[in-house]
């Protein structure tokens, strides 16, 4: 069964304090690992898609990496506006089109 586990559930950082969010996954035939950002009361906003181990993608202060078992979302020198819930999801070969989501990591960045 495809499964996604994110850790930690919640993370508090001081502005400028870099850290990483973890997404561990079990999937039959990875067809993509997705990172989204969700602000309270809003729909998820697409950040990255990763397809194969060793792949990395960057956007501003965020960098996503992928191995065969997990993905990391590295946040460098975060700002208060980076505060949000970050969702990780996978799509496997057995779930055409469907995404399996983790429970999310809620990040709070204090000024």
Which residues bind to another protein, rule: CB under 8 A? Answer: 31-32, 34, 36, 41-46, 49, 51, 87, 91, 96-99, 101-104
Would you tell me how many other CB atoms lie within 10 Å of the CB of residue 32? 15
- Least separation in angstroms between residue 56's CB and another protein is 17
The nearest distance, CB 8 to another protein, in angstroms, is 15
Identify which of residues 49 and 76 has a Cβ nearer to another protein in the complex: 49
104 phi-psi bin (left φ>0, alpha ψ -120 to 50, beta other): left
Residues in the chain: 111
Helices (H), the chain: none
Query: What is the closest distance, in whole angstroms, from the C-beta atom of residue 72 to another protein in the complex?
Result: 19
- Residue with smaller CB distance to another protein, 12 or 16: 12
Report the helix count and the strand count for the chain, using DSSP H and E.
0, 11
> In whole angstroms, how close is the CB of 99 to another protein at the nearest point?
6
**DSSP summary character for residue 102:** -
Q: CA-CA distance, 11 to 28, in Å (whole number)?
A: 30
> Considering beta carbons, is residue 26 or 77 the nearer one to another protein?
26
């Amino acid at each position: 069964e495809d499964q996604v586990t994110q850790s930690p559930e919640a993370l508090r950082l001081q502005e400028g304090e870099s850290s990483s969010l973890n997404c561990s996954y079990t999937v039959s035939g990875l067809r993509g690992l997705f990172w989204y950002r969700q602000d309270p009361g809003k729909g998820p906003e697409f950040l990255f898609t990763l397809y194969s181990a060793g792949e990395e993608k960057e956007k501003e202060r965020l960098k996503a990496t992928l191995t065969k078992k997990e993905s990391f979302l590295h946040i460098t020198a975060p700002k208060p506006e980076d505060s949000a819930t970050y969702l990780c999801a996978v799509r496997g070969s057995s779930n055409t089109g469907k995404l399996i989501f983790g429970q999310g990591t809620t990040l709070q960045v204090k000024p």
